[in-house]
Amino acid sequence: MGWIIYNSLGEPLVTQEQHDHTSADASGPLTNDEHDGYSEYDEIAAPGAPAASKARLYTKDLSALSAMFYVDEADNEFWLADSIFRNLPIGNLSSWATAVTGSSAATRNVNRFDLSPNGGTAHIYLNENAYGPTRGSGTDTLNWDRVVLWKLRFTLFTAAAGGSNNILLGHAIGDAPDTLTDKGIGISISNAAFRGFVHDGIGTTLTGTLVTLTVNQVYDVLIISRGDGTVEWFIDGASVGTSAGGPVGNSTAAHTIMSFQGFKATGASNRLMIHQISLADLG
């Protein structure tokens, strides 16, 4: 295939004649290029689907970082750095603690957590010693100078006025379930309104509604704390908002709990199911 180098506006700068990368045998042209050195790619917008039996490799902005992606012929986009994430096991494991009030239920099943608040709270949380939050610090400390990437897959099954859910990183055992008292990041879902939740070590910032979720729909959420106080939220690959009120520096010791919460003061609603949890840190 031929190739084209684009500038940051997506305009072609240099074009190369077609060079086929099929098998190097009698049935096709010569291949097996050698390349000593490196290639650089300007950031561009996603280029769209290529022709059949081809793929496109490119760089685009991901929360102020230049990241490598490729798109296949069906227009499915893949981030090459996905392998940096550590998947945290979900199941009925002693490392995941539960706490409930009222008639609520917090159930740990294989490959899912089920939070069903009912006239109280439903809470599942993970002690920091179980997952070693960030490199360059002890297990009881989060190093927010690093770029922290937190991926979640979840479904909000029911939503109603007066019900809410929080998903937080940077919680502490002594904190009330619905608060951060030290540096941290997360999300808050009130009824079905999705908002960003951050703490810079001084106070909490809760964004306005970034998106209204659809009940009984699976979502992929990515939260990126850039290491400079900026936090960005993505839903299903699209950025939905940022906040400059995020954390930098080390957390206070023990403020590293990963916490999943549901609240409904009266009656049952805001049932939340967590399907997948992944974490990475860079820098």
Q: What is the pLDDT of residues 18-39, one digit of tens each?
A: 444 444 444 444 455 666 677 8
Give dist(CA 244, CA 228) in Å, integer: 8
Q: What is the dihedral of CA 206, 209, 211, 215, to 10 degrees?
A: 90
Q: What share of the chain is helix, strand, coil (3-state, %, to 5)?
A: 5, 50, 50
What digits encode the pLDDT tens for the residues 174-212?
A: 888 888 999 999 999 999 999 999 999 999 999 999 999
- Asked whether the beta carbons of 158 and 269 are under 8 A apart, the reply is yes
- Supply the pLDDT for residue 19: 45
Distance, CA of 104 to CA of 101 (rounded, Å): 6
d(CA 145, CA 40): 27
What mean pLDDT comes out for the span 253-278?
A: 93
Helix or strand holding residue 217 (H, E): none
Position 14 pLDDT exceeds 60: no
Q: How far is CA 217 from CA 16, 101, 147, 206, 235, in A?
A: 45, 27, 29, 24, 12
The secondary structure of residue 35, as a DSSP letter, is: -
- Return the SS3 of 156: strand
Answer whether residue 82 shows pLDDT above 70: yes
Q: Which residue has the higher pLDDT, 89 or 262?
A: 262
Segments of 127-230 assigned E as strands: 147-156, 163-171, 184-190, 193-199, 204-206, 211-212, 218-225
- Residue 68, class by beta-carbon neighbours within 10 Å (0-12 exposed, 13-18 middle, 19+ buried)? middle
Sorting pLDDT into bands at 50, 70 and 90, what band is 54? confident
Average pLDDT of every residue of the chain:
86
CA dist 29 → 3, 53, 161 (Å): 16, 16, 64
Q: Which of the residue ranges 46-55, 66-75, 218-227, 251-260 has the most confident prediction, judged by mean pLDDT?
A: 218-227
Q: Given CA atoms 206, 138, 220, 122 in this order, what sign does their dihedral have? A: negative
Strand partners, 147: 282
Whether the predicted pLDDT of 278 surpasses 60: yes
Picking from 13-22, 29-38, 67-76, 132-141, which range would have the lowest pLDDT averaged per residue? Answer: 13-22
Give the least confident one: 104-108, 138-142, 162-166, 248-252.
138-142
- Are 131 and 234 within 8 A, CB to CB? no
Task: For residue 211, give the nearest of 244, 187, 245, 246 by alpha carbon.
Answer: 187
- The whole-number average pLDDT for the span 241-266 is 94
Architecture of the domain defined by 86-282: Sandwich (2.60)
Confidence of residue 262 (pLDDT cuts 50, 70, 90): very high
- Work out the pLDDT band at 226, boundaries 50, 70, 90: very high
User: By the 8 A CB rule, do 164 and 269 touch?
Assistant: no
pTM summary value: 0.81
Confidence of residue 238 (pLDDT cuts 50, 70, 90): very high
pLDDT for 24: 41
The full set of domain ranges for the chain reads: 3-84, 86-282
pLDDT for res 7: 56
| Contact partners, residue 276, CB within 8 Å, separation at least 6 | 87, 90, 111, 151, 152, 153
Instruction: Using alpha carbons only, give the angle 210, 218, 151 rounded to the nearest 5 degrees.
Output: 65
More confident residue, 41 or 144: 144
Q: Which of the two residues, 140 and 231, has the higher pLDDT score?
A: 231
pLDDT at 129: 64
Sign, CA torsion 47/243/191/120:
positive
Q: How far is CA 236 from the centre of its chain?
A: 10
